[in-house]
Structure 1
């Protein structure tokens, strides 16, 4: 069974007047994170880790900051695209580990809730998601939030691969992808269809 590892990094400066969203979780704080989208530094790092693991580029490849369509967009859109890419490549998540580096707000009191949020978005168990928090001591980064993410993927089991190969209708293919990534989503735009065949011909 093949394995792939991906690594992601992102950083955003704090900015007054915008909501703070990290890991898909809205957090009460006096400042949010500046960015073209909602500035979710953790989901951005995870998205890049997933895309990198299957050599699919990065967030900017799919969602360039110059495109006004993504102004203020929720970062789970980016994450769903990365999940579709790894499923199409024939992989699924084993586990993911992350580190948040910021002076404030304190992440430890809400780390459990944040793990649940990220796990739900990824379609995995909370026990498969690690979230750690550090302060940027001596780095002069008090006004910045930084996130690192590492993901381990495994190739889809042989029996799952056969199930995907025997899907002859678009609805069947969508159902297979849904089972792999844990959430229903429209995959018709991917344009990747498999040639049907008769399993009775297998020897």
Structure 2
């Protein structure tokens, strides 16, 4: 079975007057993280790891900071796009290991909740997500938060076996609909059954 590894990195400086968002969670703290979007460095690093694993570029390729549509954007949007890319490439997540490096706030007390939130966003089991926290001792990074992420993907196609539709069809009409949409070049019958999120339309943003 084909396997691919992706690595993601991100860092943001702390900034007063903005909410702190890490791993899709709002965290009570005196400062948030500066950034063009919501500053969620963990979701940014996960997004880059997923995109890198399938050689699809990086987060800036899809969401350049020069584009004002992404000003203060929810980083789950970026993550959904990365999930679309790996599903389109024919892969799924096996497991993910994340390291957060920051002096404060303390992540250990909320690591379980953060792990559950990330697993929910990725639509995988909590046991396939690891989140660890370290302090930047000796690195002179007290005012900065850093995230490192490694992800392992596996191919949805098993070598030696004929390719087949992954969606399970229960009625003949469903098979006809799948074939029609594939021939017509329309949206596949059900991307959700491939573990994909619905395609995100950037034109919907104001």
TM-score by length of 1: 0.86
TM-superposed CA distance for 1:188, in Å, is 8.4
- Cα distance in structure 1, aligned partners of 2:166 and 2:67: 34
TM-superposed CA distance for 1:157, in Å, is 3.5
TM-superposed CA distance for 1:125, in Å, is 0.5
Report the equivalent of 1:34: 34
- Cα distance in structure 1, aligned partners of 2:189 and 2:11: 34
Secondary structure (helix, strand or coil) at the match of 2:165 reads helix
Gaps of 5+ in 2: 168-174
CA contact (8 A) 1:92 1:153 kept: yes
Report the equivalent of 1:180: 194
- Cα distance in structure 2, aligned partners of 1:10 and 1:19: 18
TM-superposed CA distance for 1:174, in Å, is 4.8
Secondary structure (helix, strand or coil) at the match of 2:164 reads helix
Secondary structure (helix, strand or coil) at the match of 1:46 reads helix
Large movers: runs of 4+ above 6 Å: none
- Cα distance in structure 1, aligned partners of 2:63 and 2:51: 13
Task: Give the aligned CA root-mean-square deviation in angstroms.
Answer: 2.2
Gaps of 5+ in 1: 190-203
Report the equivalent of 1:60: 60
Secondary structure (helix, strand or coil) at the match of 1:131 reads strand
TM-superposed CA distance for 1:181, in Å, is 2.6
TM-superposed CA distance for 1:179, in Å, is 2.4
TM-superposed CA distance for 1:178, in Å, is 1.2
- Cα distance in structure 1, aligned partners of 2:163 and 2:14: 44
Q: In structure 2, do the counterparts of structure 1 residues 44 and 161 end up closer, same or farther at CA, with 3 Å as the change threshold?
A: farther
Report the equivalent of 1:83: 83
Report the equivalent of 2:130: 130
